[in-house]
Amino acid sequence: MANRRQDATVIVGGGHAAGSLLTTLLQKKYQQEVVLVGEEPHPPYQRPPLSKNYLAGDIDEESLYLKPRSVYDDAGYQLRLGERAEHIDRDNKTITLSDQSTLKYGQLVLATGSRVRHLNAQGADLKGLHYLHDMADSDALREQFVPGKSLVIVGGGYIGLEVAAIAVKAGLKVTVLEAVERLMQRVTGPEISAFFYAKHRGAGVDVRLDTAVTGFEAGNHGYVAGVTLADGTTVPADLVLVSVGIAPETALAEAAGLPCDDGILVDEYTRTNDPDILAIGDCTRHRNLFFEQTQRMESVANAVDQARTAAATLMGEDRPYDAAPWFWSNQYDVRLQMVGLSHAHDERVVRGKPEDEAFAVFYLRQGHLIAVDAVNLPMALMVGKKLVYQHREVKAQALRDPDIELKSLI
Amino acid sequence: MGKITFIEHDDTEHVVEFKAGASLMQIAVDHMIPGIDADCGGECACGTCHVIVADEWYDKTGTPGDDEQQMLSMTPELAKTSRLGCQVQTTEAMDGMTVRLPEFQM
Ligand SMILES: Cc1cc2nc3c(=O)[nH]c(=O)nc-3n(C[C@H](O)[C@H](O)[C@H](O)COP(=O)(O)OP(=O)(O)OC[C@H]3O[C@@H](n4cnc5c(N)ncnc54)[C@H](O)[C@@H]3O)c2cc1C
Ligand code: FES
């Protein structure tokens, strides 16, 4: 194409953010040459099913792909998979890859995502200890799903709980160990935590709150045999999943001298402080006009929204990131959908009854709706998406009253 | 194998081949049809895969479940034959079907 500038736009990282960026650029008919460098051997794929239906064996590898590989090939986008970007030379605008080749960039987009936090406890290097972040991890876990085996999950966040739901259905004996006093504490309020606690207990999962893990006990052949607790007892285990959160993958950016603070710092246009380098997805601490403070998010919605913002920025459009975050989780037959961030609330309103397995919690701050968590009640999520985005003032009574249609609040 | 026609809000037509079994959303996404976001990847969690089925084909797509109806009820450009594309599994009987895409997703 005649008006292509000389140096390619290079995307580092091959996850959800990178994949969405490729797609958006393609749809917007971006005229630059585009090269994606991704460490994993797969074209960009979705991670949510790794703890849900893919782990259960209900869908195959190809249905995880954001697009069939041929879409990128047909567009002339180059995917360099199985290669890691090792170093950025900002003066010469090149990156060095793991095969020692260098790649010149005009614009560089970092989409390096996150890595799982490892436990530094005694015995943490034993065999049979799993983490869950990529396709290979999910495959490895599924292979161990043999009825009757004992699985101990360290961490009662949504990923650990989704795995618990699939594992107990597969006939495993499942224990969840959570350090604090309620499940999913980081992302939701007490009513939702209590609901999922009851749901998992009812399904036969042994959920233990306020339970600190001190280490892992060795069995035969270097395999884990149990998880030791602060109270001196041991929970027997044939396999263990450690699911205690993630950390943004910022090493590459930090080494290149880009400002980072628990995430690569970017503005509402996804720009770092180097005009030729953008960053998107889990690896960023970013500005989103919806919030007053910078945020770090671990969600598909953020990866996709930032990818769309970056595409606009690359094409010289003025389209800042301005969106209410949203999220979902599937456990058993329950779909949890969330919009907004709830932790700064000063009032909670529950609509519907948890025992009916269809209810929602509305989080207000000074009378304004800041977040909604909906359990099998998509209407609350959809109405919430609008009202939360607008920081709307709403009457608690109207949210609570089953005779007032949620739709009428818009 | 059969053909489905996707029509964008500006009347641009895309005729694509499909294999029965895939969802309408997946077919649109795999063929890079503009106007469908499908942010949640087909989990009926995001509401960004709204499609409007041509009247005469609507019956062939089955009935939307309660969840889907709740999600749809808030979409802009809601029509009588609206569906969430990820909840419509294609069958051989859909060969020749026409589906419109809204201007905006949720
Ligand atoms: C099991 C699981 C379940 C989840 N469920 C949900 C859910 O239900 N809903 C939701 O909204 N979100 C969910 N998430 C979170 C969501 O998947 C992430 O927020 C999203 O994938 C972030 O996209 P990303 O592209 O920023 O990072 P990632 O998807 O992590 O991709 C980053 C990629 O970059 C590669 N990379 C890193 N460094 C380099 C380098 N130097 N060179 C080359 N390549 C590199 C990595 O190998 C990786 O492939 C889930 C995540 C997991 C792990
Ligand atoms: S793809 Fe998200 S609801 Fe259909």
Q: Where are the domains of chain B?
A: 2-100
Same domain for A108 and A252: yes
**What does residue A382 show for φ and ψ, rounded to 5 degrees?**
-65, -40
**List of residues 6+ apart from A185 with CB closer than 8 A:** A193
CB neighbours (10 Å) of residue B63? 9
Domain carrying residue A71: 9-115+247-314
Same domain for A190 and A290: no
Q: Which residues of B touch A60 (CB under 8 A)?
A: none
Q: How far apart are CA A11 and CA A32, in angstroms?
A: 12
Same domain for A169 and A149: yes
**List of residues 6+ apart from A158 with CB closer than 8 A:** A184, A187, A329, A331, A336
Tell me if A386 and B71 make a contact (CB, 8 A cut-off).
no
pLDDT of residue A410: 87
Asked if residue A271 belongs to a domain, the reply is yes
Has domain B2-100 been given CATH number 3.10.20.30? yes
Tell me if B47 and A378 make a contact (CB, 8 A cut-off).
yes
DSSP A139: H
Does B1 contact A at CB distance below 8 Å?
no
Same domain for A108 and A75: yes
Tell me if A48 and B74 make a contact (CB, 8 A cut-off).
no
Asked if residue A323 belongs to a domain, the reply is no
Instruction: Please tell me the residue having the least CA distance from ligand 1 atom 53.
Output: A133
pLDDT of residue B76: 83
Pick the ligand that lies closest to the CA of residue A338: 1
Does A234 contact B at CB distance below 8 Å?
no
**What does residue A145 show for φ and ψ, rounded to 5 degrees?**
-80, 80
Q: How far apart are CA A203 and CA A239, in angstroms?
A: 20
> Taking the model in full, what pTM does it have?
0.96
> Across the interface, which of B30, B67, B70 has its CB nearest the CB of A67?
B30
CB neighbours (10 Å) of residue A394? 16
Burial A116-153, CB ≥16 within 10 A → b, else e: beebeeebeebebbbbbbbbebbeebbeebeeebbbbb
pLDDT under 50: residue ranges of chain A: 1-4
Same domain for A49 and A151: no
Using the mean position of ligand 2's atoms as its centre, give its distance from the Cα of residue A381 in Å. Answer: 13
Domain boundary among A191, A210, A244: A244
Instruction: Write out the two tokens for A233.
Output: 């007892």
Same domain for A204 and A290: no
pLDDT of residue B74: 86
Does residue A113's CB lie within 6 angstroms of at least one atom of ligand 1?
yes
Asked if residue A370 belongs to a domain, the reply is yes
- Exposure on the CB side of residue A228, measured as CA atoms within 13 A: 13
Asked if residue A133 belongs to a domain, the reply is yes
Sheet holding A213-218, edge to edge: A213-218, A224-229, A234-236
Tell me if A335 and B40 make a contact (CB, 8 A cut-off).
no
Same domain for A134 and A205: yes
Which SS3 state, helix, strand or coil, does residue A227 take?
Answer: strand
Q: Which residues of B touch A378 (CB under 8 A)?
A: 44, 47, 67, 70-71
* Residue to test with chain A: of B68, B74, B106, most A Cβ within 10 A: B74
pLDDT of residue A5: 55
Find tokens 């939701």 and name the residue.
A188
Same domain for A17 and A111: yes
Same domain for A152 and A79: no
Task: Give me the CATH number covering residue A343.
Answer: 3.30.390.30
Q: How far apart are CA B59 and CA B63, in angstroms?
A: 8
Which SS3 state, helix, strand or coil, does residue A304 take?
Answer: helix
Find tokens 């009588």 and name the residue.
B80
CB neighbours (10 Å) of residue A292? 8
Nearest to A153 by CA among A56, A217, A235: A235
Same domain for A229 and A152: yes
Same domain for A397 and A307: no
Asked if residue A328 belongs to a domain, the reply is no
Domain boundary among A244, A262, A280: A244
pLDDT under 50: residue ranges of chain B: none
pLDDT of residue A3: 44
pLDDT tens readout for residues A325-368: 999 999 999 999 999 999 999 999 999 999 999 999 999 999 99
Task: Give me the CATH number covering residue A97.
Answer: 3.50.50.60
Tell me if A301 and B39 make a contact (CB, 8 A cut-off).
yes
Domain boundary among A190, A212, A244: A244
Number of structural domains, chain A?
3
Q: Is A296:A284 a contact under the CB 8 Å cutoff?
A: yes
Q: How far is B63 from chain A (nearest CA, A)?
A: 17
Asked if residue A327 belongs to a domain, the reply is no
CA distance to B14, B24, B56, per residue, from A20 (Å): 21, 19, 34
Q: What angle do CA A194, A197, A199 make, to 5 degrees?
A: 110
Same domain for A97 and A156: no
Chain B residues 54-93 within an 8 A CB cutoff of chain A: 67, 70-71, 73-75
Does A377 contact B at CB distance below 8 Å?
yes
